[in-house]
Amino acid sequence: MTSSTPSIEFFEGISEELSGVSLRRDRQSGLRIVVLQFTRLKSIEQFNSYRKRFAKALRLTDGEGTILIEPSSVQFVFGGPEGDDLQRVECKIELDQEEHWERFQRFMDAYAAANGMEYGEPPT
């Protein structure tokens, strides 16, 4: 077990700042879906994507270790007067196993605490 600060990376060595997270469940399949939102990506702004190795997976690191998750989709949302200003990036992750869901929850709890955010499922 390590004591590293929780981080999220698209490119190895470049920590991104999460701006929001949405938790959903497919009513028919019961599949849990996580949508991570980023209002900016450091890796794009610094053009580091050309110098760093793309992991083909989102790297979530905390004190328990590293989780590598391949997103089911990544959507870039543009806006502004010319329609070319990056407004946000939405990264969709599907979790179909209970132990993966529980591990993701622990990561998000640690990430939220380390970054002054609140995280939790709404009461049912």
Q: How would you class 36 by CB atoms within 10 Å of its CB: exposed for 0-12, middle for 13-18, buried for 19 or more?
A: buried
pTM equals: 0.77
* Core vs surface per residue 41-71: b (16+ CB within 10 A) or e: bebbeeebeeebeeeeebbbbbeeeebebeb
pLDDT reported for residue 124: 60
**Which residue in 103, 95, 101 sits closest to 62, CA to CA?**
103
Which domains are assigned to the chain? 7-114 (2.40.30.220)
Q: How far does Cα 49 stand from its chain's mean position?
A: 17
Local confidence pLDDT in tens for the 124 residues of the chain: 455 889 999 888 889 999 999 999 988 988 999 999 999 888 777 654 455 555 578 999 999 999 999 999 988 888 888 888 888 999 999 999 999 999 999 999 999 999 988 876 666 6
pLDDT at 84: 84
Q: For tokens 């920590």, name the residue.
A: 15
Q: Taking CA 70 as the corner, what is the angle to CA 28 and CA 33, rounded to the nearest 5 degrees?
A: 25
The pLDDT score that the predictor gives to residue 48 is: 47
For the chain, report the end-to-end CA distance as a whole number of angstroms: 33
